[in-house]
A and B are shown apart, each in its own frame.
Chain A
Amino acid sequence: MNIVKFYQKGTYTVGNRLVSEAERTTQSSPERTNSITCGHRACQGCGEALGARYAIDSAMKATDNQLIAVNATGCLEVFTTPYPETSWQIPWIHSLFGNAAAVATGVAAAQRVRGHANVRVIAQGGDGGTTDIGFGCLSGMFERNDDVLYICYDNQAYMNTGVQRSSATPPTARTATTPSLGPEPGNVFGTGKNVPLIAMAHNIPYVATAAVADLRDLEAKVTKAMSIHGARYIHILVPCPLGWGSAAHDTVRVARLAVESGIFPLFEAEHGVVTHSTAIRRRVPVDDYLLPQRRFAHLFKNGKPVDGRVARLQAMADENIRRYNLLRDEESDR
């Protein structure tokens, strides 16, 4: 992809008119499939609904509409299929909370054995269904290098059941099971799982992270993933206004601040090696990312950090920036 030097003031997004026809987003095309069509029951400002629509429409385009989706139990499953209605315009199955990767393995095996090699399979789940309860099946699918793209829509807690901590919940975040009470309010430091890195440790052909803030980057990664066979993993940050305590109209902004602060690095890896990271164009302090979210409200008083915890989060962001080389002169506005 060419580096686009111009972007819109305020939103910092790259308009389609600034790029060539071929580089325009799937979402901007009237030909997009609307794989998850209107009428679903997601909350206002739901990042997961946005992320899933972006990802699946791109995967549909990349596979010439020969796509089957497997869904873990969770918000995405519940809000898209209130019986007898469904928002899915593609073949779709939901089995259980913890087995989406394994069910997808079975669907992919059936395509091979039945001579439908052109039909591709994606599995998808939230962070709970991926990093916690579905982790065994996910690792098994990776290890066997089954021909499945697994997409994790990470909103950093069990939102469907009412915002409980998962192994993707960041330190200090308030959830229903890590309340902002006591001497160490919110989720503790030193816990959690980095599933993109664990996926890389399986030496699978493709791993990427993405966020709903950068549509073109997200679509490019899904498109690339669908050009590859074998086990693939994309981890998409999807803010949840309900669980994060952010404004519904701020979903894309909060996701962008996660990326621009370095808290959520965007990168790609092939066969266990990082091959590309998306540079931060306009770096912001983590405070900018934390302040719009009520789950971090206990970190601040009158806009100022109450103790050293914000500095610890800043150190985590700084470490991501160093590790993934996210500040590059030629791509950053400094």
Chain B
Amino acid sequence: MLKQTEGSHAVAEAVALCRPEVICAYPITPQTHIVEGLGELVKSGQLQNCEYINVESEFAALSVAIGASAAGARAYTATSSQGLLFMAEAVYNASGLGLPIVMTLGNRAIGAPINIWNDHSDAMALRDAGWIQLFAETNQEAVDLHIQAFRLAEILSCPVMVCVDGFILTHAVERIDVPEQAEVDAFLPAYEPIQVLDPKDPVSIGAMVGPEAFMEVRYLEHHKQMRALDLIPELAAEFKAMFGRESGGLVRPYRLEDAETVVVAMGSVNGTIKDVIDDRRAEGDKVGALSICSFRPFPLEEVRAHLLGVRRIVVLEKSLAVGLGGVLASHVRMALRGRAQLVYTLIAGLGGRPILKKSLSAFLSKVETEPHADVHFLDLKNDVVERELVRASQQRRSGPTAENVLKHIGSPMAGLV
């Protein structure tokens, strides 16, 4: 059914259509509206046969989901940022135990300095925790990915994290086609666990594993994700056949024909990127874009196939691997191993800094003429950085960096617009 609704609420409706049996709720901006929406659906009786549990922390949220999933229930939770880090130990545990929990990550920066706005630092921090990580480009895709995520998780018995850009998607109100219950029921069968805590057939789950078997258990986790490389496009095709929409898949190419420069990115920023591509194409520039939907497993072969022959690749990413540069860019370089193609890391949008069409377009003009450098920062205020570096070099007790930078800028909100 078409409706005008907030992204978070649409995700809540999509999750409810998947008939979760246990939902663990803990508030954290910008994810909160999702669990609030689910709370309304459970309290009002619209979502039945579901235990909605208000927990005391994100660590408990995922731990409750672990218990519920191991006992055979379809379990769901949502978090963001600090919340994901607070549950980090349980994130690894859920995948290590092979529990098909689905979790929405409302992507948000990680402090300090504390910041509630969008970037991908949270998802990147736990990229190697054994979860499948899918990035939604639009709110429609966020809805659709959740329905695919439960199916994928349960086929593989592997947890899936659906990454939805905080505020940009979670709080945006737009037209969304929310599927009908009967359609979702046809796409997503009832959960049939591969392992379950059951007095009729007692098993021990979570035993200690030593050097003689740990490698094999880990390898089998990797093997699941390699299977997901085949399953993700299959499910996207099946979804399209049933719902009539392109959603999910591993990667999504945009105007790659004859492209000499390609921008690679994840999530909602692809909307901006496509606008820039269209503008520049209109002026005769041979540019295209590649949106990565599945970050884990990372589709090395698909990325390579789409980028072979491209002269310049600009990897725009909303996270910074401090001391290195880009995470996604490193993955793209891995995909292009053995190829002499120019890969630029473009760090953009950290802590919610707007990614402007004109800034991105200016950068694309620049890379066509200037010598190659590995790491670039989009719209970094170099004067502010320089002033703080000078200040810090002049006095030992130079004070807290974030506060000094805010003072240089003049107003805490000055940098946002």
Which A residues contact B (CB, under 8 angstroms)? Answer: 65-68, 70-71, 77-78, 81-84, 86, 88-96, 98-99, 102-114, 119, 136-137, 139-140, 143-144
Contacts and interface: CB of A to CB of B under 8 A. Distances in A.
A136 B60 contact: yes
A130 to B, nearest CB: 15
A136 B60 CA distance: 8
Given A90-B202, A95-B93, A113-B21, A103 B73 contact: no
Nearest to B73: A110
Contacts of B205: 92-94
Given A83-B209, A91-B197, A140-B56, A106 B72 contact: no
Contacts of B51: 109-110, 112-113
B51 to A, nearest CB: 4
B206 A109 contact: no
A119 B205 CA distance: 17
B121 interface: no
B199 A95 contact: no
A140 B67 CA distance: 15
23 contacts: A70-B67, A82-B208, A83-B208, A86-B207, A91-B201, A94-B205, A96-B90, A98-B89, A99-B66, A103-B64, A106-B71, A107-B71, A109-B22, A109-B73, A110-B71, A111-B71, A113-B21, A113-B50, A119-B199, A136-B57, A136-B60, A137-B59, A137-B60
Contacts of B113: none
Interface in B322-336: none
B204 interface: yes
B203 interface: yes
Nearest to A80: B204
B64 A136 contact: no
Contacts of B202: 88-92
A94 B89 CA distance: 13
Interface centre among B65, B67, B90, B202 (most CB of A within 10 A): B67
Contacts of B210: 82-83
Nearest to A148: B67
Given A91-B199, A109-B22, A113-B50, A77 B68 contact: no
A110 B67 contact: yes
A107 B70 contact: yes
Contacts of B204: 81, 86, 88, 91-94
Given A103-B63, A106-B67, A106-B71, 16 more contacts: A68-B197, A84-B207, A88-B204, A91-B197, A91-B201, A93-B67, A93-B70, A95-B90, A98-B59, A99-B63, A99-B90, A102-B67, A107-B67, A108-B67, A110-B68, A110-B69
- Find the residue from B21, B63, B68, B75 having the highest chain A CB count within 10 A: B63
B67 A95 contact: yes
Contact of B93 (A83, A96, A104, A108): A96
B55 A140 contact: yes
Given A106-B64, A107-B71, A94 B59 contact: no
B403 to A, nearest CB: 31
B59 A105 contact: no
A110 B63 CA distance: 13
- Between A105, A136, A143, the greatest number of chain B beta carbons within 10 A of the residue's beta carbon is seen for A105
Interface in B71-87: 71-73, 75
Contacts of B199: 65-68, 90-91, 119
Contacts of A82: 207-208, 210
Contacts of B259: none
B67 A78 contact: no
B197 A137 contact: no
Nearest to A69: B197
A82 B207 CA distance: 7
Interface in B188-220: 197-199, 201-210, 213
The 7 closest A-B pairs by CB, nearest first: A106-B67, A110-B71, A140-B56, A94-B206, A102-B63, A99-B63, A103-B67
B97 interface: yes
B401 interface: no
Contacts of A136: 56-57, 59-60
B342 interface: no
B353 to A, nearest CB: 34
B124 interface: no
Given A86-B207, A91-B202, A105-B53, A114 B72 contact: yes
B213 A84 contact: yes
B49 interface: yes
A86 B204 CA distance: 7
A45 B281 CA distance: 78
B359 interface: no
A96 B64 contact: no
A143 B56 contact: yes
A99 B206 CA distance: 13
Contacts of B49: 113
B50 to A, nearest CB: 7
A81 B75 CA distance: 26
Contact of B208 (A78, A108, A137): A78
Contacts of A84: 207, 213
Nearest to A68: B197
A82 B208 CA distance: 6
B181 interface: no
B255 to A, nearest CB: 46
Contacts of B72: 110, 114
A143 B69 CA distance: 22
Contacts of A114: 21, 71-73
B24 to A, nearest CB: 8
A67 to B, nearest CB: 6
Nearest to B212: A83
Contacts of B65: 106
A58 B283 CA distance: 80
Contacts of A140: 55-57, 60
